[in-house]
Amino acid sequence: MGQGAGRRFVGQLFQYGEGASAITRLVPDRSYWTLDDMPVLAQFAVQENPDDRFKFVLEAALQPFFNGEGEALPPFFQNMLPEGPLRTHLESIGDLDKGDDFALLSMCGTDLPGAVYVAPADMTRESIARVVTQNNDALEMSVSPMPLPEATSLSGVQPKLALVLSGGRYVARAKDERGVHIIAKLPTVQFPLLPQVEELSMRMAGAAGVDVCEVTLAPLSAIHADQPFVIGDESHFLAVKRFDRQGLQHIHCEDFAQVLNIPPTLKYEHPRANYATMAKVLLSTPGLGMPALEEFIRRIVVNDLLGNFDGHVKNYGLLYADGRTPELSPAYDVVAYAAFLKGKGHALKFTPTSQTKERISPAVIRALATAVPGLPEPKIGAVVRETAKKAYEAWPDMIQASGLQEEQKRRLLEHIGNTPAIESLARRAAKVPRK
């Protein structure tokens, strides 16, 4: 991981055997993992005490971070793989077997999220046996695919492309890596005007005080690259500026499924996949603390008000601008699904013992504060009220001025108006006598 001459070797990822009895493991490189000032690969693997670091590496075969289950990659690497239509497309152009995560990771190795690189190892039979079986068996190494320049890993089920903005055109990454790196989120037949809805959602989140990543609506005609997806007859896509890229530089980041060592298949229902557990990480991690927690609460409130019913642990992440100090990454994947369908509450539980689909209320805030030591209920309540007030004042005009369909506007305004925090503000406003 890392950049250029500063790139560090962190370990060898191997798979031995097949099926449920297979061993899939990252064998850590001790010279990296025992450093006092090593760049952070994953918060889940951070050990502040040197003795704990040494023990963590020594017991790698027993540590969940380094090991997958059967043929599955360790969760940290599973969460780096592309999903949905992009995965299907890459499996096709790479002639990979469906579900071959190991080969897909290798194929996308030069353009994975953050500052991680994966490349096939150049090893002898002796070195393979030493790494995999501690010289107890002689092995042959199968060939992993070489990384393809056009193979970029992007998570999420919406059709996406990795592009670079160069001279006013959106081109393939291989054409100009020095430009502004963009994730192109394409229209879908399932949700009309999805790029427009997401662009509006991101602006609304910003108006409510959330730190959001840069997004722009752009015409599909500006894409000068192969586009293999079925997108209907719409005219625009959403250009999302990547916060983990700066020209040729890869800036490390990880999503909260990686932070909590949760496989992507369990991003909603894993026991650690809840707001309280995420809040504990933010409060206890040096460099984050209360400011990050307040921003986290703002995002939860915005998702509640917008009707982003699909929010999960991969929709929150950490960014390491200097390679070591974490900060909450800018908000991404904020989508007002209430413009398309009815629903309520959150896909994630607020606490491990909460009900699903809960909405923010004084009782829910109290339960969250009780579940997270050091989380002051009055402070969190104030953040909720402040965020809701900004939304109440700014959002209706933003929705009416947007290019959404009239039915989408109606649904969105109706959902927002029916949220407890907004209902409370509306009641108070109705009681204020006009001058």
Regarding whether 289 and 225 lie in a shared domain, the answer is no
Does residue 403 fall inside a structural domain?
yes
Domain match, 245 and 258 both: no
Cβ atoms of 46 and 32 closer than 8 Å: no
Do 245 and 261 fall into the same domain? Answer: no
User: Quick one: DSSP state of residue 65?
Assistant: G
Residue 258: the pLDDT is 98
Q: What whole-number distance in Å separates Cα of residue 40 and Cα of residue 2? A: 10
409 and 369, same structural domain? yes
- Contact between 380 and 369 (Cβ < 8 Å): yes
The whole-number average pLDDT for the span 172-181 is 80
Residue at 149 is within a domain:
no
pLDDT of residue 344: 86
128 and 166 fall within a common domain: no
Do 127 and 195 lie in one domain? The reply is no
Angle at which helix 289-306 crosses helix 420-431, to 10 degrees, equals: 80
Span 90-144, pLDDT tens digits = 899 899 999 899 999 999 999 999 999 998 877 555 555 555 544 444 444 454 5
Domain-located, residue 144: no
Give the least confident one: 33-47, 219-233, 369-383.
Answer: 219-233
φ/ψ of residue 132, rounded to 5: -85, -45
Question: Among 176-180, 270-274, 417-421, which is the least confidently predicted range?
Answer: 176-180
pLDDT band at 67 (very low <50, low <70, confident <90, very high): very high
* Residue where one domain finishes, among candidates 249, 268, 289: 249
What does DSSP assign to residue 352? T
Q: Is the model's pLDDT at 225 over the cut of 90?
A: no
In terms of domains, do 261 and 242 share one?
Answer: no
**Are 273 and 303 part of one and the same domain?**
yes
Read out DSSP for 120-138?
-----HHHHHHHHHTTSS-
Tokens of 344: 């309520």
Domain identity same for 220 and 362: no
- For residues 348 and 374, membership in a common domain is answered with yes
Q: Judge contact between 179 and 107, C-beta under 8 A.
A: no
Is the residue at 245 inside a domain?
A: yes
pLDDT (tens digit, 9 = 90+) per residue, 276-293? 999 999 999 999 999 999
Q: Which secondary structure element, helix H or strand E, spans residue 224, and what is its range?
A: strand 223-224
Residue 2's nearest CA partner among 112, 81, 79, 86 is: 112
| Buried-state track 81-100, b at ≥16 Cβ within 10 A, e below 16 | bbbebbbebbbeebebeeeb
User: pLDDT digits over 311-345, tens only?
Assistant: 999 999 999 999 999 999 999 999 999 999 999 89
In angstroms, the CA 263 to CA 257 distance is 7
Residue 414: the pLDDT is 97
Residue with the bigger pLDDT between 67 and 232: it is 67
- Domain end (from 118, 133, 148): 133
Mean pLDDT of 180-184: 93
Contact 260/282 with Cβ under 8 angstroms?
A: no
155 falls within a domain? no
Is residue 180 one of the residues assigned to a domain? yes
- Whether 138 is covered by a domain: the verdict is no
- The answer to which of 98-112, 123-137, 260-274, 349-363 has the lowest mean pLDDT is 123-137
Kindly report each contact of residues 43-52 with a partner whose C-beta sits within 8 Å and lies 24 or more positions away, as own/partner. 43/254, 43/258, 43/259, 43/281, 43/285, 43/318, 43/326, 44/76, 44/258, 44/259, 44/260, 44/261, 45/76
Q: What DSSP state is assigned to residue 306? A: H
Cβ(402)–Cβ(381) under 8 Å?
Answer: no
Q: Averaged over 224-238, what is the pLDDT?
A: 83
Residue 151 lies in a domain: no
Please give the pLDDT value at position 128: 55
Distance of CA 403 to the CA centre of its chain: 28
Q: Kindly report which listed range (216-220, 311-315, 424-428) carries the lowest average pLDDT score.
A: 424-428
Total domains in the fold of the chain: 3
pLDDT at res. 420: 87
Residue 160 parent element (H or E): strand 160-166
Domain boundary among 224, 249, 274: 249
The Cα–Cα gap between 297 and 369 comes to 12
243 & 375 share domain? no
Do 334 and 301 sit in the same domain of this protein?
yes
Taking residues 414-433, report their average pLDDT.
86
Determine the pLDDT at residue 85.
Answer: 85
Q: What amino acid is encoded at 83 in this protein? A: E
**By residue range, what is the domain housing residue 203?**
160-249
In 3D, which of 239, 258, 14, 263 has the Cα closest to residue 114? Answer: 258
Between 128 and 229, residue with greater pLDDT: 229
* Residues 223-226: contacts with CB under 8 Å, at least 24 apart: 223/161, 223/163, 223/169, 223/170, 223/184, 224/169, 224/170, 224/171, 225/161, 225/163, 225/170, 225/171, 225/172, 225/175, 226/172
> In Å, what is the CA distance from 164 to each residue of 150, 241, 248, 259, 372?
12, 9, 11, 28, 42
